[in-house]
Amino acid sequence: MRTWSFVSLAGLSLLFSACNGSSTPVGAGTTGYSATVTRTALGIPHIRANDFAGIGYGYGYAFAEDNLCVLYDDLLTIRGERARYLGPNGTYTIPANDSVTDNVTSDFFWKLMANDEAIARLKAASVPEIRDATRGFVAGFNRYIREIRAGGHPNRHAACRDAEYLQPIREDDMYRRYFRLAVLAGTSVFADGIGSAQPPSPTNPVGPVLGADELRAALAHDLGPLAFFRQDRPFGSNMYAIGPQGSATGESMVFGNPHFPWEGSERLYIAHATIPGKLDIMGASLYGVPAILIGFNDHLAWSHTVSTAYRFTLYQLTLNPQNPTQYLYDGEFRDMQPVPLSIQVKQDDGSLQTVERTLYRTHYGPMVGLKINAPGIGPVNVLPWTNLVGFTIRDVNAENDRLLNQFAKWNQAKSLTEFKALQKSILGIPWVNTVASGPGERAYYADITVVPNVTDEQRTTCDAQPLASVFDQLVPGVPLLDGSNSACEWGTDADAPAPGIFGPSNLPSLERDDYVTNCNDSYWLVNSHERITGYNRIIGEEETPRSLRTRLCLLQADRRIAGTDGREGRKFTFEQLKDIVLASDLLSVELARQTVLDTICPLGFAIGTTGPVDIGPACAVLAAWDGRANLDSKGAHLWREFWRRAIGAPGGLPVNPLAPAIWNTPFSADDPVNTPRDLNTLLPTVQAALADAVTAVEAAGFALDAPLGEVQHSGIHDEYIPVFGGTGTEGAFTIVSPSGPLGESGYEITYGNSYIQAVTWRDGKVHAEGFVTYSQSTDPASPHYADFTREYAGKRWHKFPFTPEEIEAQKIAQYTLRE
């Protein structure tokens, strides 16, 4: 039985009630907050209240119980107080977009971007449900902080419970958190280049400025922050909506599976919120968001994947040679806006020193740099601020004040029809595709999101050359426009709810009776039988190769509906859907293993980077391997080491389009699911990849035929918990992203499958199962620190309790909060 430890007489009353599974009011007085929290198996909180403030209150308290330190670290950062409490020498990383800044630069970036004006605007535009839930969240979160600081909850949250900074939070902290999430796929990717951008001066020399050819070569070696926008990035998701014609029972299904970090504040947290007669919604949210972002109820279910649309534009500025803080705009020079900022920096002796820095904004947005490591040259700023040229960025989601409103209204939707209408009318989704369905409803897909209104026609005259072409070759679609011409400003559609964005009529969507899917490629191919075309390139590419993962997403659906996947019958049953999504199949194996066995293995050896290697034993392992990435799969690690080298060589991933192709049959837009194919094993790099894979596995100390469960495990838990799954590069659907290359400790998983939901309806009632792969709590002292991870390792699907009867059957504790 879970034990709850509180300080005060009210806490003792709560402890008694929790151990007896009953509900007892807590708190002598009241300031309007009241909620009952019921914990069910694996730590899922079900919050019941009479209003949104109460929902936020219960949610904030329950969330603090599980993840106090991780969220507080993020709030501290977004306030611009990291250097004040943690000193100048540390760094701040956003694992979701690989942004890394030192503490000082991080503080200046967030002071600039999440300033009081931006936060006040976001707060003022929020609907009452969000304002109330936020206010309640702050009260509940602060209640737990007070109890911790008074000595309650002993042994819990050791990482921060005694920290000087652990003080009550404010409502503005939470709106800063919402803002931070909004710009995750935009300005925060460039946080280091924005927080450190300075005009040229004798004390701030520009450094080397590369020509177009040098720059192309340098970026092919190191894309820096631009790597986040590559097709093979880890930040992504898989999802299906299965319509009546794709279902064996005629009942719709929705599957969702974000591939998010296992560390940091972009983890997902499952909860259930109920206001009798008004709200009944369950699902997952990013940390600190008191609204369900991916969820389900009796009326509908939905999920998201990261969209290919760009949420920003870079602008190249022509500067005044006599004053590099002035830029040309329609024939006249404009002054940049200087933004003087100051932060407090903790010194070695504990004292505080004030550090000042002036950053600059244009009417587009902040000035920005982009730092990479150029081979043979060293650190280079790809977007240099010289006396002649500079660069600025406009982020559409820094202007998006509707994002939380979208989810607040979705959480209350009573039908799929209402859900779709709300997506178009609010148009607040910041950077994700959506699939959805409801009982007996069609399968719905949409990338109806906030996108800068930059048309293809506009880009023909506004792309800032030659740099735009360099970017476009290496990271297709990145918009770099001429900032000196008002014709290059964003347009506004007549049906757009805000200026500067496309309206829903110019954004892609599709409804089908069989299925829709998205696995992070563009909208163009979300069903293999129907193309979505005619949209502007800033939203996504059309008629281009799909990733191996996307191709597997489509093949799995097509084969199941046709009954050609080796499973019983045709079309999806709910159990088959669950089996498929965790099967750990790898499309690269289907496409290439036999070719390797037939053409490379007969050679007996291959020349690797260290010389000839006997590949006979490795070939025997690959021939006997089941071709999957399950815990008992023997050879999965060997294939991964081979494949990542083969596909990473010139001609593999699309870095150097002039390199020899790794596939003999090229991509065809007429057959995008089955092309490219036929591995070119005549390439020396492919043969060397197998030799080097053998060397790498042996150097790490693993047998070539070791079961994957002995090699791959959670990288965030102290205990060894094996983890199944493969990488997106391998063409896996069941995803892991190791924290580094194979070493003595194997593959340590810190990224990948996160929140998983499989949803259908039975007799008009929702039935949902799934996982939180890394578990609900980040506190090692919590009983819910690793319990869900163990269940996931065993593929033991958990029934998410939704009805009062189901909740009661799984109840492990219950308490009522009031103040």
pLDDT in tens, 78-110: 999 999 999 999 999 999 999 999 999 999 999
pLDDT tens-digit map of 580-609: 999 999 999 999 999 999 999 999 999 999
What is the predicted pLDDT for the residue at 684? Answer: 93
Closest among 552, 510, 576, 509 to 246, alpha carbons compared: 576
Sign of CA dihedral 758, 762, 764, 767: negative
What is the predicted pLDDT for the residue at 31? Answer: 67
pLDDT tens-digit map of 384-402: 999 999 999 999 999 999 9
Backbone angles phi, psi at 8, to 5 degrees: 95, 160
pTM of the predicted model as reported, rounded to 2 decimal places: 0.94
Residues 6+ apart with CB under 8 A from 566: none
In a domain, 178, yes or no: no
What is the predicted pLDDT for the residue at 236? Answer: 87
What is the predicted pLDDT for the residue at 234? Answer: 77
pLDDT tens-digit map of 613-672: 999 999 999 999 999 999 999 999 999 999 999 988 755 544 444 456 899 999 999 999
Q: How many CB atoms lie within 10 A of CB 278?
A: 12
What residue type is assigned to position 719 of the chain? E
CATH number where 724 lies: 1.10.1400.10
Mean pLDDT of 116-141: 98
In a domain, 109, yes or no: no
Q: Residue 514 pLDDT more than 90?
A: yes
Q: Residue 53 pLDDT more than 80?
A: yes
- Give the domain-ending residue among 705, 732, 759: 732
Tell the burial category of 598 from Cβ atoms under 10 Å away from its Cβ (0-12, 13-18, 19+): exposed
Q: Look at the chain and report how many structural domains it folds into.
A: 2
Q: Residue 413 pLDDT more than 80?
A: yes
What is the predicted pLDDT for the residue at 408? Answer: 98
- As a whole number of angstroms, the distance between CA 9 and CA 33 comes to 19
- As a whole number of angstroms, the distance between CA 817 and CA 808 comes to 19
Closest among 19, 200, 159, 139 to 76, alpha carbons compared: 159
Mean pLDDT of 790-808: 98
What is the predicted pLDDT for the residue at 230? Answer: 82
- Report the catalytic residues: 237
What is the predicted pLDDT for the residue at 650? Answer: 59
Mean pLDDT of the chain: 93
- As a whole number of angstroms, the distance between CA 804 and CA 762 comes to 17
Q: Taking the CA of residue 689 as centre, how many other CA atoms within 13 Å lie in the half-sphere pointing to its CB?
A: 25
In a domain, 605, yes or no: yes
| 13 confidence band (pLDDT: 50, 70, 90) | very low
- Give the domain-ending residue among 732, 767, 782: 732
Find the range with the poorest average confidence among 428-432, 653-657, 724-728. 653-657
What is the predicted pLDDT for the residue at 23? Answer: 35
What residue type is assigned to position 628 of the chain? R
Q: How many CB atoms lie within 10 A of CB 163?
A: 15
In a domain, 718, yes or no: yes
In a domain, 614, yes or no: yes
Percentage, residues of the chain above pLDDT 90: 88
- Give the domain-ending residue among 732, 765, 796: 732
Q: Which two tokens stand for residue 143?
A: 């209640």
| 22 confidence band (pLDDT: 50, 70, 90) | very low
| 454 confidence band (pLDDT: 50, 70, 90) | very high
What residue type is assigned to position 390 of the chain? G
Backbone angles phi, psi at 60, to 5 degrees: -60, -40
Q: Which domain holds residue 599?
A: 584-732
In a domain, 658, yes or no: yes
Beta strands 34-40 and 811-818: pairing type?
antiparallel
| 801 confidence band (pLDDT: 50, 70, 90) | very high
In a domain, 703, yes or no: yes
- As a whole number of angstroms, the distance between CA 525 and CA 546 comes to 8
Residue with the bigger pLDDT between 31 and 363: it is: 363
What is the predicted pLDDT for the residue at 222? Answer: 87
Q: Residue 28 pLDDT more than 50?
A: no
What is the predicted pLDDT for the residue at 660? Answer: 61
Q: Residue 545 pLDDT more than 50?
A: yes
In a domain, 664, yes or no: yes
